[in-house]
Amino acid sequence: MNIGHWRADAAHIGALAGPLVLTQLAQVALGTTSVVMLGRMGALELAAGGLALTLFNLLRTMGVGLVTPTGNLIAAATQDGSAVTEQIRDLSRASFAVSTIAGLLAWAVMSMAGPLLLLLGQDATVVERCARYLAVAAPGIVPMLWFQSLRNITVGLRKPGPLLAVTLGSVAVNIALNLVLIDGGWGIPPLGLVGVALSSTLVNAASFAAFFALARRDDSHASVLSFRFWDAPRETLWRTLRMGLPVAATYGSEAGFFSVLALLAGTLGATALAAHTVVNQAVYVVFMIAVGISHAVSISISPAWARNDLATTRRLGWIGLGIGWVAMAGVAAFYLAMPQLVLRAFVRDSAGTATLLAVAAPLLWLAALLQFFDASQNIAIGLLRGVGDTSSAFVRTLVGYWGIGLCSAWLLGVHWGLGITGLWLGLIAGLAATAIQLLLRFHRLTSVSSRREAVGIASVEKGSIAWKTGE
């Protein structure tokens, strides 16, 4: 084992992951700000807004999955340090086309969510507030997905440019808008719950506009960035969809799993749902660290896999996983040392605060363990995407999340009466099972003895990635 290679690779992944992790944290700060603001309005608004954010994040996550492989396509196409301008521009247009279609479909789903939530046993008062939130937040998902397309294009080129600065700026603007729109001011009437949703929509639109305008000012981006999604070549559009659909299904499987758990929590009452929302948001914030590392290692191993370098591919993969574990250990220590500080960041003192904190505190201890499995499975999904295997991950998530996780959550939480604690034990079981399956798959694909099996996992036509593991 060459220690020098491991150190150099760790430094390389860390350099790429650093800005991506910060960007992910800044992006999730938008949602976290919303949860904090909702918590200031009381448990009912927190439950309703949390339910709305659960559905919004499910649809957003699936849309993001559709365009995430764009970064891998571009990274592998530029592995020799050069880029074919026309090819990258076509991928850019195709990504924007996919994100537009996904955003419009998600908007339509959110506009019809109210009756479905009632059928799923949710409290009528919570659903009424949830529907009002979604009606205002739904239009923002289109520019949000455009932003994600642009992000993957620039990251694939390894020149994210103003991505972090724009995201940090959007957090500041979101906080300011929330403070004005919720309680009113500057001639604006108090909008309460709807104000949080309106702030989100406005910030999503402004963030994309700012990022696109700034990115276009970079000479290396100007020639390849094109928003003319209606001009996307059909072949390139199909190539993007072919790689993106399994990723979207995988991401959707995970997000859907979390969404169903939120619905199960909702059947246990508003306090249980509010506690679940608070701890889940804390987990979601930290999850962004794993997402940033996953993107970085996925982009890093794509060129190695494309040139048939299995040893480097595997080494980069395990290094990325190790970085994730170290980060999660730090988070777990923080959770266990200062649980009240974490929880009180999301709620303020009110009549039901003591009860809410009593329900949420044990979940935070479980979250400390959950983070390791959550990070592992997300990084593993990135590893498989980096080697062009975007389909088998979906099958494994179905087994892990739904076959093991959901069944365990229902059995422990509902059937055996352990309540919200039982639901989270089931969540841990599902994430652990998924992580083990995905990592074993990556280990097998990058083994020398598995070279023949890896041939043909993903084959992208001329003008894109030539994935291969054999002659």
Average pLDDT over residues 2-25: 72
With cut-offs at 50, 70 and 90, classify the pLDDT of residue 77: low
* pLDDT number for residue 432: 94
Instruction: Single out the residue of 313, 314, 432 nearest to residue 369, CA to CA.
Output: 432
Percentage of the chain with pLDDT > 70?
Answer: 85
Residue pLDDT, tens place only, 86-115: 777 888 888 899 999 999 999 998 888 877
Q: Count Cα atoms within 13 angstroms, Cβ side, for 420.
A: 28
Average pLDDT, the chain: 79
Percent of the chain with pLDDT over 90: 11
Structure confidence at residue 376 (pLDDT): 93
Provide the 10 A C-beta neighbour count for residue 190: 12
346 — phi, psi (to 5°)?
-110, -10
What's the token pair of residue 395?
């099958």
The values of phi and psi at residue 121, to 5°, are: 85, 15
- pLDDT tens-place string over residues 124-153: 777 888 888 888 888 989 999 999 888 888
For residue 188, the cross-strand partners are 185
- Whether residue 338 is predicted with pLDDT greater than 70 in this model: the reply is yes
User: Residue 83 above 60 pLDDT?
Assistant: no
Per-residue pLDDT tens for 217-241?
Answer: 876 666 677 777 788 888 888 888 8
Q: What is the pTM of this model?
A: 0.68
Q: What is the mean pLDDT of residues 32-48?
A: 72
- Please identify which residue in the block is written with the tokens 């419009």: 104
pLDDT in tens, 161-187: 677 788 788 888 888 887 888 767 677
CA 31/CA 278 separation, integer angstroms:
12
**What's the pLDDT at 430?**
92
C-alpha 196/C-alpha 207 separation (Å) is 16
| CA proximity to 236, closest of 94, 102, 78, 388 | 94
pLDDT above 60 (res 458): no
Measured in degrees and rounded to the nearest 5, phi and psi for residue 185 equal: 150, 160
pLDDT digits (tens, 9 = 90+) for 255-296: 778 778 877 887 777 778 778 878 887 887 788 888 888 888
What six digits make up the tokens of 309?
């370098």
pLDDT (0 to 100) of residue 455: 46
Q: What is the pLDDT of residue 425?
A: 92
351 versus 13: the higher-pLDDT residue is: 13
**Mean pLDDT value of segment 75-96:** 72
For residue 142, what pLDDT is reported? 93
